[in-house]
Amino acid sequence: MKNKSLLAAFAAPLIVGLAFSVCATVATAAESAGGKTSIVVGADTTFPPFETEVNGKVSGFDIDMISAIAKAEGMTITLKTMPFNGIIPSLQAGSIDAAVAGITIKKSRMQNVDFSDAYYKSGLSVLVKSDSKIKSFADLKGHVVATKKATSSVDYMTAHGINPEYIKQFQDIDTAYQALATGGADAVVFDNPVNVNFKTSHPGMKVVGDLLTGEYYGIAVSKKDPALAGRINDGLAKIKKSGEYHQLFVKYFGGDVSGAVNSVMKPADVAVTD
């Protein structure tokens, strides 16, 4: 009996150690497979109808979409609101896991973050007052143009001959629109669905000229969790199949599905160059 007891005494720590090792391996495998049950999602709430905040409540196309994706993948989300220019640094630092903010998939951004498959096709457009003589982007030279800070609209304008001194950059697009309305700017160059959304509720405005770019929005994901983008892609595919994705276009765009991406569009295939 003493020999058996002695054997048991040595075996018990060994079994516990093996059990701990197995559990640790399983946990590590789950994490490497994107097995998180909760993620922190960054959002810039100054981009209606994709994100907005009223009386402390955050809502919008992107918010409903990422919530549906998370639910489809058995995850919960915690929203963390921040300025647009703080999103990429926050993803790099690991303080958020993913972000939705109508983020254009760009090659330069892909060096710092991962992206989901594209979920919305957009482009830049020019918004002016209804009585403006500006008819297209070509007429903007020499005029003050407002836009949102650190967005692809700034890159486009500087690359296409607009003097940076004539570009007014604001922390949020609402302030850019206010500058246009009050005469502080002659035009706004920004994402077309947002310009159209503003024009619809402000009859004294109009969109002029053709779309300046063809660009795609993606969900930005921290490179610290390589598997998370794949899991988000799985969830996106699920809500497309279930019809939830289409319903968001009915809810936020009145059924206009011109921006819908119904096929799988990989980031590398749609990324734009700055």
Q: Where are the domains of the chain?
A: 38-121+216-255, 124-208
Report the alpha-carbon distance of residue 59 to residue 104 in Å, rounded: 20
Closest CA to 195 of 254, 156, 160, 146: 146
Mean of the pLDDT values across residues 169-174?
Answer: 95
Instruction: Using CB atoms within 10 Å of the CB of residue 183, give its burial: 0 to 12 exposed, 13 to 18 middle, 19+ buried.
Output: exposed
Please give the CATH topology (third level) of the domain spanning 38-121+216-255: D-Maltodextrin-Binding Protein; domain 2 (3.40.190)
pLDDT of 118: 98
Return the structure tokens found at 139: 């007429």
pLDDT band with cut points at 50, 70 and 90 for residue 224: very high
**pLDDT at residue 24 tops 60:** no
CATH entry 3.40.190.10 includes domain 124-208: yes
**pLDDT at residue 205 tops 50:** yes
CA 95, distance to chain mean position in Å, is 16
pLDDT of 256: 83
User: Hey, how many other C-beta atoms are within 10 angstroms of the C-beta on 52?
Assistant: 19
- Return left, alpha or beta for 145; rule: phi > 0 is left, psi -120 to 50 is alpha, else beta: beta
**In the 8-state DSSP scheme, what is residue 104?**
B
- In CATH terms, are 38-121+216-255 and 124-208 the same topology? yes
